[in-house]
Structures are given as C-alpha cells and as structure tokens.
C-alpha cells in the first residue's frame, strides 16, 4: 500500500477533508446561497465538458488521499442532479482509508438513497432550513415542500443511513422562530440537527451582520425548553460544537463561523465542479487542477503542485472577518459546495 505523505499548511493544519462539488446546478434557489435574482432564468451553468469527469474526480481523490485526506464529502449545487452519481461513489469507495459523505437538499433522496447505499456511501447530511412549510418554501424559493425532504430522510434511515445530519441555516427575521420546532422533531432520534450561523458566503446573498442569530442565542432558545449540555468533539477540526439533551436522548450541533470561528483547526480543501482547488470557503480564487490533468501532467507533478499550494496556505477568514472584509471578492458557495 502506498505510504501517505502528509502535508500541513502554515498553521500546521493537515488536509483531512476534501469537499468535491460535482455540479454547480441546483433545483433550489436558497436565498442565502443561490438567490434567484442572480441565479435566475438564463443563468449560464457549466456545460458538461467543463465539469470534472468521474475519472478526473477519482484521480484527484486518490492524490489527496495519498496526502492525508481521509474524508470526502460530495456536494454541489445539488449533487444528486449529477447523473449516475452512484457510479462515481462506487469508484471512490475503492479508495482505502476513506470515509464517503454527501450533503444534499434531500429533494431526490427518497428515489436515490438505495443506489447511494449500494454504491458505498457512508453518510448523508440533509439541508433543511425549517419544518414550517411556508418558511421553508420561502427560503428555498422554489416552493419545495418540507414533507418531501422528510420522506427522503425516512427512506434513507430505513435503508441504513444513521445518524443523518440535518443542517439548518438560521437567519434573523426568517426562520429563528422555528428553531425549537426543529429541535423537538429530531430529539430522541439518532439524527443530529446542526444549527448554522448565517454566513457571508459568496457575494450575492446580501449578508448583514445583524441578520446573524448567534450560536449563543440559538442555545438559549433551545435551553429554555429542552435542557442541553456541551459534549467533547469527536475529532480535531470537527466543524460543529456538540451539545446533548439532558432529558431523553439525542444531540445537536452548532456551527458558529461568525461568532466562534474555528479556522485554527480547519483541515478542509475544496474542489469546484470544474476542478479548481480552493483552500477556504471564503477564498476569491482557486487553482486549476483540471487543466493540469487535461494537458497530460503526471500524478506526481499534480501532487507536488497541491503540496506547494497547501504548504503556503494561511487562510483564516472567519477569524479576521469584519463588516469590511465581507465586501471583498469570494467564490460562490454553490460553486464549491459549502
């Protein structure tokens, strides 16, 4: 077996997690990620031949694995819009020492969960921003009902995906009054709701600091009815802070990029759907790895290039975020998948 040649950045952070966007397309228009005003009719998504092929994704995944990546998360846009995704998962599942996860909006999950499981997918995270149908439809902005996402979660659970993580982005004036409803619904189940502070990802969501509901406030809202206590992290670099219910069972997570930044342990590299390497969710530019592959560059040279990029990495955007930094250029989240 090929020896792993780990690489660390200027803060001694290794590459542990690789997030791969397999498409820039989505069937939702979540207002904090892909607002209709920008991603409306006529928006030019990447043509098929501009997307990384499954072979190219598999090749890069093996290179990153040989440098220490132990978890791959497939994202989008909406990854289940990429045809035959289970074929890619079956290839990636051959890579040793690799956990395969996927983040989806759940709209196609009921139909595709079995094929994903059979192909070797280990874990699923479903984005669901409210259980209140009107609020959810308003946030996904395509009038997609909560019921169909819950059906996807139920089918996935029956097939054996558990725990399923549920991501809820909380935005003031939009869905904060439905936090408790979400907590009550998944309490005493194996599934883990992660409440996410609204972030200034990309440059199209009109982010304002006052629209952020802090992790502290979210905890206080839940604590008022459902007593919770903090838990230790499962591993270094875990994004969510863990809390468990004191009565009954179950746990929740808080992802507080704005009020409690966690850049110090950030081990995440990101690949866009067209093969650019981004070293931070809030980066402006990425490095084009697809071009290297398509002009015949050998793996060893591509690995050397990634090593050089990562060793020079000094990203810690969330730690230096101010109202001014949020006016700068940043890649769109739908392009690199959160």
Task: Considering only the stretches 24-32, 44-52, 223-231, 312-320, report the one whose residues sit in contact with ligand SF4 under the rule CB under 6 A.
Answer: 312-320
- According to DSSP, the β-strands at 276-278 and 268-271 are antiparallel
- Closer residue to ligand SF4, CB minimum distance, 52 or 333: 333
Please, which residue, 207 or 317, has the CB nearer to ligand SF4? 317
Segment interacting with ligand SF4, rule: CB under 6 A, options 34-42, 119-127, 224-232, 316-324: 316-324
E strands in the chain: 17-21, 71-75, 99-104, 123-127, 165-170, 192-197, 228-230, 241-245, 251-255, 268-271, 276-278, 287-288
- What stretches of 57-216 adopt beta strand conformation (E)? 71-75, 99-104, 123-127, 165-170, 192-197
Burial 173-209 (b: 16+ CB within 10 A, else e): ebbbebbeebbeebbebebbbbbbbbbbbbbbbebee
What part of residues 69-108 is at the interface with ligand SF4 (CB under 6 A)? none
The count of residues interacting with ligand SF4 (CB under 6 A) is: 11
Distances (CA, A) of 194 to 128, 169, 252: 10, 8, 6
The two three-digit tokens of residue 211, written as one number: 């629209």
The yes or no reply on residue 207 touching ligand SF4 (CB under 6 A) is no
Measured from the CB atom, is 126 or 280 closer to ligand SF4?
A: 280
Instruction: Choose which of 176, 197, 303, 315 interacts with ligand SF4 (CB under 6 A).
Output: 315
Q: Which residue stretch of 67-75, 177-185, 227-235, 259-267 sits at the interface with ligand SF4 (rule: CB under 6 A)?
A: 259-267
What is d(CA 83, CA 275) in angstroms, rounded to the nearest whole number?
Answer: 18
Given 204, 318, 326, 334, the residue binding ligand SF4 (CB under 6 A): 318
Smallest distance, Å, CB 316 to ligand SF4?
Answer: 5
Site map 263..282 versus ligand SF4, x via CB under 6 A? x--x-x-----------xxx
173 φ/ψ sector (left φ>0, alpha ψ -120 to 50, else beta) = left
**Nearest residue (CB) to ligand SF4, 119 versus 281:** 281
Nearer to ligand SF4, 119 or 240 (CB): 240
Least distance in Å: CB of 268 to ligand SF4?
A: 6
Instruction: For the beta carbon of residue 327, count every other beta carbon within 10 angstroms.
Output: 11
Binding to ligand SF4 by residue 39, rule CB under 6 A? no
Binding site for ligand SF4 (CB under 6 A): 262-263, 266, 268, 280-282, 315-318
């Amino acid at each position: 077996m090929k020896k792993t040649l780990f690489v660390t950045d200027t803060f001694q952070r290794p590459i542990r997690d690789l997030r791969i966007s397999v498409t820039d397309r989505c069937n939702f228009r979540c207002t904090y990620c892909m607002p209709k005003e920008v991603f409306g009719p006529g928006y030019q998504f990447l043509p098929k031949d501009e997307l990384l092929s499954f072979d190219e994704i598999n090749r890069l995944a093996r290179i990153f694995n040989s440098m220490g990546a132990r978890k791959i998360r497939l994202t989008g846009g909406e990854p289940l819009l990429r045809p035959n995704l289970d074929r890619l998962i079956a290839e990636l599942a051959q890579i040793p020492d690799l956990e395969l996860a996927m983040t989806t909006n759940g709209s196609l999950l009921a139909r595709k969960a079995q094929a994903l499981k059979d192909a070797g997918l280990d874990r699923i995270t479903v984005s669901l921003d409210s259980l209140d149908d009107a609020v959810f439809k308003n946030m996904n902005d395509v009038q997609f009902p909560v019921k169909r996402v819950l059906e996807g979660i139920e089918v996935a659970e029956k097939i054996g995906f558990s725990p399923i993580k549920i991501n809820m982005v909380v935005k003031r004036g939009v869905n904060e009054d439905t936090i408790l409803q979400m907590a009550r619904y998944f309490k005493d189940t194996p599934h883990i709701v992660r409440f996410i502070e609204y972030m200034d990802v990309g440059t199209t969501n009109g982010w304002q600091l006052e629209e952020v509901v802090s992790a502290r406030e979210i905890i206080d809202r839940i604590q008022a009815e459902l007593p919770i206590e903090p838990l230790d992290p499962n591993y270094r670099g875990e994004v969510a802070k863990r809390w468990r219910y004191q009565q009954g069972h179950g746990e929740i997570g808080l992802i507080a990029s704005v009020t409690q930044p966690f850049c110090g342990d950030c081990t995440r590299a990101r690949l866009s759907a067209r093969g650019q390497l981004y070293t931070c969710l809030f980066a402006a530019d990425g490095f084009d790895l697809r071009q290297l592959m398509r002009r015949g560059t050998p793996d060893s040279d591509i690995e050397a290039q990634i090593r050089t990029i990562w060793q020079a990495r000094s990203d810690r955007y969330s730690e230096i975020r101010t109202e001014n930094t949020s006016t700068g250029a940043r890649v769109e989240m739908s392009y690199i998948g959160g």
